[in-house]
A and B are shown apart, each in its own frame.
Chain A
Amino acid sequence: MAKFTSMAYSSADEMIFGTAKKPVKYGRDFEVGGGMVYPEIVNHPRPGSEETKKSLMREYEKMTNDSLERAVTLGFPGLQIELEHVWQMTKNPDWGGDIAGQTVRQQQDWYQKYGIKSAVRATIADNRKPEQENIRDCKSLELALKTFELSAKNGADNLSIESVGGKEISDYSIVRQDIRGVLFGIGVLGSRDVEFLWKQIVEIANKYGATPGGETNCAQANVAMFMAGGMLDKSVPHTFAAVTRAIGAARTLTAYEMGAKGPTKDCGYEDPIIKAITGIPIATEGKTCACAHADLQGNLIMAVTDLWSNEAVEYHDMFGGTTAAVFTEILGYDVALMNSAIALGKAKDLQEMMIYSDLYRDVHSFVVAPAQAYEIGKAIVTNNTDYYSRARAGAICAAKLILGDPKMLLSKFETEVLQKTLRELESFPDNEGDFIEQCAAIYTKAVPGFKLANYGL
């Protein structure tokens, strides 16, 4: 496995939405990162529709049709549809596989009639339970791999996952503001699990001619970010969550070292860092995912996007049509604005506005802004001797960037949390083996069911 030791871009300023150093082509005349931004709609079935395969397939058929129809109605050039599996679609591999096949067929019909470019991303559910089973040899893994296989066989263009390795440690640590556990759970264990999984996903994708797509640290860094919440929340400190994001970036990078080609997964808020390092096109979500959750970088996270998403919207009627149609429209017009800016030579102006909107709104916006993402990426690749060292370096860099910018205002409490976090990070051993030994002793005792063997250690 070749590790990234240099940056794909010469500077943050070189990064822009719609263009990636390594564009990806698949689907029906669909290219991501090749000079245009496209929308990626994620529709979610209503509760109850998952009761049977037939009812779930019908639900997906309607949602997909509504999205494609609205895209053509409004003249959008292309659309990616993500099938983000509800657990029943992975627990029953034929459900996920058949829904992928059905969606591809629908896209082919619309492509033949109208020429709308399109692609299907199948995101398989990772239902493994690290503290309860051997996650390298369990039924959930077997079903996930089978679902990947059937989805690819039935025509899914892009295979993706939101994997959960190390979550038993990161969950324990995030709510205790324990940066050691976060670094261990995400940076050390999570990276090893991503390596383990993506070797197999890439093999399956190659077997069927699908594109090994993207990962995300949704199960860990997003937990910290969503718990940190907005300006009224007093849950996880925002500065702690922002440092966690940098660790998540080092972990998610592993998928692209293993052969994933992108675009990345939309909910990976670490993706600007990934793009800076790898040059792979990224999917992001911001204001358009208000249907699923609130975040503090609604505009900024568009700054270097290549595929603009809504995270997930449950299928319902609205005054303007179904949510599948309405959110396709919202995404499509956002994308049209970005593509207009590209066509008019104003892309950097629009990007500046996106960044200006949110840069100092919150520390999490700050660390995923292009300039900061680039610096964190540099810290990761210049310390890429092992998973631990690069994750730790990214985290230290993020903390120092926040503390070093006087415009990034912090409360006294948040400042103290960040200073303490930085002190702890700097106090950890330099050697990965020493760190693992230290953590093994602590977390084997603290987290029931935790097993090093799940991570090949």
Chain B
Amino acid sequence: MATAEVFVRYDLKKELAEKKVAAGKDELLQKVMDAVVNGDEDNIVAYVNEALTVHDPLVVIREGLVKAMDEVSRLWDEGIYYLPQTIISSDTMLAGLEECEKKMGHAVEKKGVVVTHTAEGDIHDLGQQIVNALLRANGFEVIDLGKDVPVDDVVNAVKQYKPAMLTGTALMTTTMTAFNKIANRLRRDGIEVPFVCGGGAVSLEYVTSFDLGIWGKEAQQAPPMASDAVAGVSWTKMREKYNS
């Protein structure tokens, strides 16, 4: 069968650059970085423990694990990495972090708390799971309420954990209607937490129709949004930044 100009394979038009790992401070830290960037879950624990024989845990975290995740983020942003490579690197990074925390005897102080949930009636929580993974890999504490979460439970969790940011995921328009109910309840109680909503049929128009709402177009926006929320940026300013 001959091929006429019925379609254009734009995906083949641009060959992307090879990945390049930013150099670590020494060989041991480089091994940690390479393991995270390459998603080497089988060996990360061994490499981290090797690095911990020489370096302070905070150095391994800062100069190895975090630096490697920065590199992964760059590779994803540039389209060299796909989502699975990023998720596996995140899993690897968290396994390494756990080793460092064991050595320290306590958990690393997190950047802030984010409560995440999938709307009542909705069992499609894959988007939320991706958001959770990206937030954790970027140093945030995630309170994962799971899927099909009633409005009351979300409101109560916000009161209990006092998060810097709340997220909601929904696939269907008939389940996303829980979001404005949550926002109204929170506002009524004087809680001004930025409430990032996204997924499936959730639209900018809908999310910006109620107070607190900020539309999240893609999962990878979650870490920078959480950073803004932790820094005290209000929901109105966040909406202006991400939704206008």
Interface residues of A (CB under 8 A from B): 44-50, 86-88, 91, 126-129, 132, 164, 167, 171-172, 174-178, 223, 227, 231-232, 234-237, 240, 314, 356-361, 407, 409-413
B223 at interface by CB-CB < 8 Å: no
Q: Which residues of B contact A172 (CB under 8 A)?
A: 129
Inter-subunit contact B129/A175 (CB<8 Å)? yes
Q: Which residues of A contact B6 (CB under 8 A)?
A: 356-357, 361
Inter-subunit contact A47/B177 (CB<8 Å)? yes
What are the 4 A-B residue pairs with the smallest beta carbon separation, nearest first? A177-B84, A231-B11, A87-B121, A86-B174
Q: Which residues of A contact B87 (CB under 8 A)?
A: 175-176
User: 1/0 contact trace for B163-191 toward A, CB 8 Å?
Assistant: 00000000011111100000000000000
A285 nearest CB across to chain B (Å): 16
- Which one of A44, A87, A223, A236 has the greatest number of beta carbons of chain B within 10 Å? A87
Q: State the CA gap A356–B6 with chains docked (Å).
A: 8
A88-B3 in contact given A175-B87, A175-B126, A227-B83 (Cβ < 8 Å): no
Binds A, one of B53-61, B65-73, B74-82, B233-241: B74-82
A127-B123, A236-B84 are known contacts; what are 16 more A-B pairs with Cβ within 8 Å? A45-B174, A46-B173, A47-B174, A86-B172, A164-B123, A172-B129, A175-B129, A176-B84, A231-B10, A231-B11, A232-B10, A234-B81, A240-B84, A357-B6, A411-B11, A412-B15
Q: Which residues of B contact A240 (CB under 8 A)?
A: 84
Q: Contact residue range for chain B?
A: 35 or more
Q: State the CA gap A232–B9 with chains docked (Å).
A: 10
B137 nearest CB across to chain A (Å): 13
Q: Which residues of A contact B79 (CB under 8 A)?
A: 234
Inter-subunit contact B121/A127 (CB<8 Å)? yes
Closest residue to B172 on the A side, CB-wise? A86
B88 at interface by CB-CB < 8 Å: yes
A237-B174 in contact given A129-B148, A232-B10, A356-B6 (Cβ < 8 Å): no
Q: State the CA gap A314–B174 with chains docked (Å).
A: 10
A interface secondary structure, majority: loop
Inter-subunit contact A87/B83 (CB<8 Å)? no
Inter-subunit contact B173/A47 (CB<8 Å)? yes
A87-B174 in contact given A171-B129, A175-B130, A234-B82 (Cβ < 8 Å): yes
B139 at interface by CB-CB < 8 Å: no
Q: State the CA gap A118–B151 with chains docked (Å).
A: 40
Q: Which residues of A contact B11 (CB under 8 A)?
A: 231-232, 411
Closest residue to B1 on the A side, CB-wise? A356
Q: State the CA gap A299–B3 with chains docked (Å).
A: 16
B40 at interface by CB-CB < 8 Å: no
B147 at interface by CB-CB < 8 Å: yes
Q: Which residues of A contact B82 (CB under 8 A)?
A: 177, 234-237, 413
Closest residue to B91 on the A side, CB-wise? A176
Inter-subunit contact A175/B84 (CB<8 Å)? yes
Closest residue to A46 on the B side, CB-wise? B173
Inter-subunit contact B173/A87 (CB<8 Å)? no
Pairs across A and B, CB under 8 Å, 24 listed: A47-B173, A47-B206, A86-B174, A88-B121, A126-B123, A167-B123, A171-B125, A171-B126, A172-B129, A175-B83, A175-B87, A176-B84, A178-B84, A223-B126, A227-B83, A235-B82, A236-B83, A236-B84, A237-B84, A356-B1, A358-B7, A360-B3, A360-B7, A407-B3
A176-B174 in contact given A129-B123, A232-B10, A361-B7 (Cβ < 8 Å): no
Q: State the CA gap A314–B79 with chains docked (Å).
A: 33
B146 at interface by CB-CB < 8 Å: yes
B122 at interface by CB-CB < 8 Å: yes
A411-B12 in contact given A87-B122, A237-B84 (Cβ < 8 Å): yes
B210 nearest CB across to chain A (Å): 12
Query: A44 touches which one: B130, B148, B173, B206 (CB < 8 A)?
Result: B173
Inter-subunit contact A129/B1 (CB<8 Å)? no
